[in-house]
Amino acid sequence: MRRQSWRQWLLWMGALVGATLLLLLARDRMDKAHVALVYLLVVLGASAAAGRAVGLTTAGVAFVVFNYFFLPPYHTLIIADPLDFLVLVTFLPTGIVAAQLLHRARSTAEAALARALEVDRLATLGAETLAAPSAKDALQAIAEVIRLSLAADAVELYRRESSGTLHRTTVAPQDRTASTAGNTLTGWFGKTVHLAVQLPDGTTRLDPASLIGLDLKVLYRTLDVGDRIVGVLCVRYATSEALTADSARLLDALSYYAALGVERVRLEATAERAEAERRMELLRSALLMSVSHDLRTPLTTIKALAHEIQATDANSAARIIENEADRLDRLVGDLLEQSRIHAGAVQPVPAVNTVDELIGGALQQAQGALASHPVDVRLPDEMLIASFDLTQSTRILVNLLENAAKYSPESAAIEISARRDAEHVIIEVADTGAGVAAGERDRIFEPFYRPASTPPDARGTGLGLSIARGLADAQGGTLEYRPRTGGGAVFVLALPAAEGPPG
């Protein structure tokens, strides 16, 4: 570029010398206006072809040469005729103004061309992004466009996880050796640091005031969607590069595309994971339902035969067989119920009922499990009325009471309390057992999940709480866990409150 600039200087100074020699050959037959026009032509050519500096210099040199060779007395800088002074003075500002106007027009044209190229590049980027078969392909196209637009050696795009960890998602060119920037950057970018640059001397600046004119080797920039940081853009140069104002503005626009691309990759991965989980859940529900139906028939036969044997021989093992068959039948029933809840086949029939009736029915059904535990029931003086399916809600409460009895020490009291809270009636079942560890408080409602603290000899399949929460949700209620003050567990059942009289 510098060599080309010197060639322009030499070319137009040579053109000025050549025009002067030609004019000297015809000096006696030419008017001063003719000389001025020829020199103006040279100045305009220099300004248009080589820029403002060459044009202004050419105008200044032409001003001196004009005076020296073509205004009497010749070969001096003295001007004898006042009219000649007017011609000379008019020539100089005309040349300067012409050089300035050409420079302005040229700058405007170059800026318009740059804008057109930028718009064309962004339009191409948008089309490639939309046409890409997958989110990763679109992100790869975005990274390649950023690399080419900023004349960078490499571009890397990182996805930011909810934990703040960065994972490199895309690199351009694709065959570039993997870097460890994702590990070293972890924790840098967050609410305080959004931009970082590495200078050629190896030092790093965080959030520099401006990138324009800054000689940088590596640039890191957060990718934002709304007020959320979704990733980090890394631009690397083999040596170093100073960004111009146009490059910085283009970087802003391309960063927005990169942020959308990273977010699209995340959403696509989330959608694929959700679809896989949905398919797995459907398959599991279908399998459970099929197996459960197939188990019910032989269980009924085994139980009937055991009952007949027990009727003729009371000392046989038939009673044990019948009890185990009952237990297995309850397990199959839970599997069927779990499958029906996930399939949306359970349709509770809410009606206005009293909480006293619900708690009384649950205590009666769970009296066997509660035989060795005193139960402390605390109800307000006012009658609590709620809208719920009495059968399904009783099943929820019985499950909670049986769990409380199973995990509480022998003879430990179990508390049942109820109250009105805004639009819900809250029923709490509290025990004095070991409680649930903090990391397992949501997982205990997952099917087949058993906390690590569960005794090895404790019976159960881990379906009870899952079914209970499913039944609560189906009625517009909720079932949550919270630790009990002083130790133990509290299960909180919320059901929609009602104002009318019980049905």
Token digits for 446? 């997952």
- The angle that helices 245-312 and 318-342 make with each other, rounded to 10 degrees, is 150
Which of the four pLDDT bands, split at 50, 70 and 90, describes residue 194?
confident
pLDDT at 358: 92
Over residues 415-474, the pLDDT tens digits come to 999 999 888 999 999 998 888 887 787 788 887 777 776 766 666 667 888 888 988 988
Residue 322 has pLDDT above 50, yes or no: yes
pLDDT at 460: 66
Determine the Cα–Cα distance for residues 209 and 120; give it in Å rounded to an integer.
Answer: 29
Which residues touch 66 (CB under 8 Å, ≥6 apart)?
A: 35, 36, 39, 88, 91
**Is residue 207 packed enough to be buried (19+ CB in 10 Å), middle (13-18) or exposed (0-12)?**
exposed
pLDDT at 449: 77
Instruction: Look at phi and psi of residue 359 and say left if phi exceeds 0, alpha if psi is from -120 to 50, else beta.
Output: alpha
Report DSSP state, residue 497: B
Q: What is the maximum span of the chain, computed from C-alpha positions, in angstroms?
A: 150
Residue 3 has pLDDT above 80, yes or no: no
Q: What is the mean pLDDT of residues 276-293?
A: 74
Average pLDDT, the chain: 83
Q: Tell me, letter by letter, the H, E, C secondary structure of 331-382.
A: HHHHHHHHHHHHCCCCCCCCEEEEHHHHHHHHHHHCCCCCCCCCEEEECCCC
Choose the weakest-confidence range: 166-180, 383-397, 476-490. Answer: 166-180
pLDDT at 461: 67
Over residues 76-118, the pLDDT tens digits come to 888 888 888 888 888 888 888 888 888 888 888 888 887 777 7
Residue 180 has pLDDT above 70, yes or no: no
Which of the four pLDDT bands, split at 50, 70 and 90, describes residue 292?
low
Residue 58 has pLDDT above 70, yes or no: yes
Over residues 491-501, the pLDDT tens digits come to 999 999 887 66
Q: What is the mean pLDDT of residues 318-340?
A: 77
Choose the weakest-confidence range: 31-45, 91-105, 248-262, 284-298. Answer: 284-298
Determine the Cα–Cα distance for residues 262 and 183; give it in Å rounded to an integer.
Answer: 18
Residue 4 has pLDDT above 80, yes or no: no
pLDDT at 338: 74
| Residues found in the chain | 503
pLDDT at 1: 44
Residue 503 has pLDDT above 60, yes or no: no
CA distances from 144 to 165, 174, 180, 208 (A): 24, 9, 20, 25
SS3 state at 134: coil
Over residues 347-403, the pLDDT tens digits come to 788 889 899 999 999 999 988 888 889 999 999 888 889 999 999 899 999 999 988
pLDDT at 426: 94
Which residues touch 211 (CB under 8 Å, ≥6 apart)?
A: 195, 197, 219, 243, 248, 251
Residue 72 has pLDDT above 70, yes or no: yes
pLDDT at 478: 92
Residue 201 has pLDDT above 50, yes or no: yes
pLDDT at 123: 73
Determine the Cα–Cα distance for residues 340 and 460; give it in Å rounded to an integer.
Answer: 19
pLDDT at 501: 62
Q: Which amino acid belongs to residue 433? A: G
Closest CA to 159 of 85, 222, 114, 93: 222
More confident residue, 63 or 291: 63
